[in-house]
Chain A
Amino acid sequence: KAGVTQTPRYLIKTRGQQVTLSCSPISGHRSVSWYQQTPGQGLQFLFEYFSETQRNKGNFPGRFSGRQFSNSRSEMNVSTLELGDSALYLCASKALNTEAFFGQGTRLTVV
C-alpha cells in the first residue's frame, strides 16, 4: 500500500515568487491536512481538506492557499514568497476516525 507522496522534495525560490506543492494521499483517504515546520514556531497547522472542501484553516495569511481535487490529491500554493516562508511543509492523510500518516515533506528555501 503506497504511502503519502509529496512533491517536490526540495525547492529553492526567490522572494516574491510563488510556489505550488503537491500531496497525494493514501488510497481511500479523503482528508488531507498541511503543516508548516520551522525551527522557531515548530509544527503549525495550515489547512485541512475533505472531499474537495476546506474544513479548517490555521492562522496563516491569505498568501497561503490550497485545494483538493476529486481524486483527493491536494495542492498548496504560497504567493509572494517571503524569507520567513522557508520551512518544511508536511502533508498528512487520514481516513475517518483513524490515525493520520505523513508524507516525507517538501523543504522550501526562499532566497
Chain B
Amino acid sequence: GIQVEQSPPDLILQEGANSTLRCNFSDSVNNLQWFHQNPWGQLINLFYIPSGTKQNGRLSATTVATERYSLLYISSSQTTDSGVYFCAVDNYGQNFVFGPGTRLSVLP
C-alpha cells in the first residue's frame, strides 16, 4: 500500500519564526489533507489540497502531485500553533493513510 513520510518528526521554534513541514507519499493520490491535532485529540482541517497551492492566513500549503510531496508553511508562528500536524492521503481507496506526524512546539 501507499507509504507516507513526514519530516521533521519534531520541531521547536521561537514565537514569530517560520517553518516548513514536508509530506512525501509513494504513489499517486486523489486526496491529500493536512490536519492539526488539538490537545484533546480532535483533527482540525487545515487544507484539502490534492494538488496546487492554497493559503489561509498565516498558513499555506503546496502539493506537487507529480513529484509526490506536499509542504505546509507556517509563518509568524504562535504558541497556539503547537501540536501535532498530520498529512493524510487517499489513493482511490476511500480511506486515509496517515503520516507519522510532525510535533511542533512554539516557545514564547
Are the CB atoms of B100 and A35 closer together than 8 Å?
no
Check if B70 is an interface residue, CB within 8 A of chain A. no
Chain A: residues with Cβ within 8 Å of the partner, total of 25
Are the CB atoms of B93 and A56 closer together than 8 Å?
yes
Interface string of A88-104 (1 = CB under 8 A from B): 10101000001111111
Interface string of B30-51 (1 = CB under 8 A from A): 0101010000111101001000
Given A42-B101, A99-B33, A100-B33, A56 and B45 touching (CB < 8 A)? no
The A interface is mostly helix, strand or loop, or mixed, namely strand
Q: Which residues of B are in contact with A by a Cβ distance under 8 Å?
A: 31, 33, 35, 40-43, 45, 48, 86, 88, 93-98, 100-101
Contacts A42-B101, A98-B48 given; 9 further ones with Cβ under 8 A? A33-B94, A42-B98, A42-B100, A45-B96, A56-B95, A58-B95, A92-B96, A99-B48, A107-B41
